[in-house]
Structure 1
Amino acid sequence: MTPAYSGEGPVSGGQLQTLREDILYGSFRATMKTSSVEGVCQSLFFYKNDNQEIDIELLTGAPNETGGTESLHFTNQPDITIAPEAGFDPAADYHDYRIDWIPGKSQMWVDGVLRATLTQEVPNLAGEVLLNSWSNGDPTWSQGPPTEDALLRVSSTTMYFNHTNEAENTAFSTRCAKATGTNKVCKV
């Protein structure tokens, strides 16, 4: 959630991120419904640093040249971005977002349809996967800040990935073996 801005101090935001920072290549998926409140960036992304990042970003208030909303951005940071018309309202219902990342290529999918393939500035270092909601009040990016609470609703996440740290993988396997009962939650 990105709470309504009080008018004082920095704009708050929220995120979920993997405990693991040894993720190198994989498929990261989330079923999400964005906020209809303007002025927020909500996203699914892989991150190591500002030069090793893959994003699916949804902006809740950025106008485009045709007067519509340029809400969908697919990015390999720092400089490669495709911003197609979404063709749907990401706040009206839940949609499936997916990043497939292999050496030399990242692909972004929405509702099972391939929307972008990026082959430049593809990350090649291990990092983490995140979901977040934030605003910086920048009139050229997120707009905002939001005037009311902006919720990012996530109904599910699924990740298939390779790892680079055997000790972390062993700890992960131990945590997941203990995930039993009605909750069956495994901390990734």
Structure 2
Amino acid sequence: MKKILLLSSFFLFMTAFSLVLLLSLKENRNIRDLFSEKVHFTRSTTDTFHTWNDQRWEVRERFKLGRGYLLSQQIEHTPGSVKIKLNHQTADGGEIRTRNTFQYGQFEAAIKVAHAPGSITGFFLYAPPDLHHEIDIEIFNEPESKALFTIYQDGRVAKQQEYTLPFDPTEEFHDYRMDILPEETRFLIDGKVVQSWEGNFSSSPMQLMINSWYPSWLDIQGPALSATVINKVSYKQMKKPTGMEKE
């Protein structure tokens, strides 16, 4: 009798597991996400830029990067979006960044990148010094494009991988996401995991940043035909394990 009960329980478990797996595939979800849902996050902060929140965001005033500068005048806010304009003649771009810092969490942005070959759009976390604390998604600002995922740690490139985009990122908005956890870092595009690395790659709180600029390792190929547009950014931090929260 016990053997029959055990076999029945095992059969019910396998049936339930198969059903969950089939549903996850139907919804185009990565099975790893199902098990990562045990990770607890703080309530999501979402900014759709209907107004500019000066307590949450700041604009880089002037900073030398690549072939030109990141300048405040290259940032334009209109209700519902932030534009980062590019100037191919001066090679100037712009950058916005959060005032708060984050170590572990989930970070996502809806971005339509500029049509400006020779430049890139970055969605990333960073803390000085250079090459020590940085986790990047960089999209090449051109119709036939690719994304570059990079993790900098301890003064060097710890991980890097290119991914060919199956769409034109200059035409429509797409969702770019980073899940930064103590045991793994994942990169997702439109909800699909496209790159992941196991290990702890975050050792310091970092600012969340979005920029468009002209790297010195790319050749400028004409005028920028459009700006990078951001219409949503959301983020939530990983909660500390039970017992570690402050009273």
TM over 0.5: yes
Whether 2:91 is the aligned partner of 1:4: answer no
> Does the C-alpha gap of structure 1 residues 70 and 89 become closer, same or farther in structure 2, counting only changes over 3 Å?
closer
Of the candidates 135, 142, 160, which is equivalent to residue 81 of structure 1?
Answer: 160
CA distance in 2, matches of 1:51, 1:145: 31
Of the candidates 156, 165, 171, which is equivalent to residue 92 of structure 1?
Answer: 171
CA distance in 1, matches of 2:179, 2:234: 12
Structure 2 residues not aligned, in runs of 5+ = 1-83, 241-247
Find the residue that maps to 1:18 and give its secondary structure. Answer: strand
The structure whose RCO (Cα within 8 Å, separation 6+) is larger is 1
Output the amino acid matched with 1:76: I
Structure 1 residue 51: Cα displacement: 1.8
2:146 maps to which residue? 71
Structure 1 residue 116: Cα displacement: 0.6
Structure 1 residues not aligned, in runs of 5+ = 62-67, 165-188
Find the residue that maps to 2:104 and give its secondary structure. Answer: strand
CA distance in 1, matches of 2:199, 2:120: 23
Whether 2:96 is the aligned partner of 1:16: answer yes
Q: TM-score, structure 1 length as denominator?
A: 0.71
Question: Could you give the per-residue CA deviations for residues 28-62 of structure 1, whole angstroms, max 9, x where no partner exists?
Answer: 1100111122111102101113221111110125x
For the 8 Å contact 2:179–2:187, the answer to whether it is kept is yes
Say what the alpha-carbon RMSD is for the aligned residues. Answer: 2.4
Q: TM-score, structure 2 length as denominator?
A: 0.55
Find the residue that maps to 1:83 and give its secondary structure. Answer: strand
Find the residue that maps to 2:204 and give its secondary structure. Answer: coil
CA distance in 1, matches of 2:124, 2:192: 18
How many residues end up aligned between the 2 structures? 151
CA distance in 2, matches of 1:57, 1:136: 11
> Does the C-alpha gap of structure 1 residues 149 and 92 become closer, same or farther in structure 2, counting only changes over 3 Å?
closer
Q: Which structure is higher in helix share?
A: 2
Output the amino acid matched with 2:227: L
Of the candidates 234, 237, 243, which is equivalent to residue 161 of structure 1?
Answer: 237
Percent identity over paired residues: 21
Question: Could you give the per-residue CA deviations for residues 72-103 of structure 1, whole angstroms, max 9, x where no partner exists?
Answer: 11111242111021111111211011000011
2:116 maps to which residue? 37
CA distance in 2, matches of 1:146, 1:51: 33
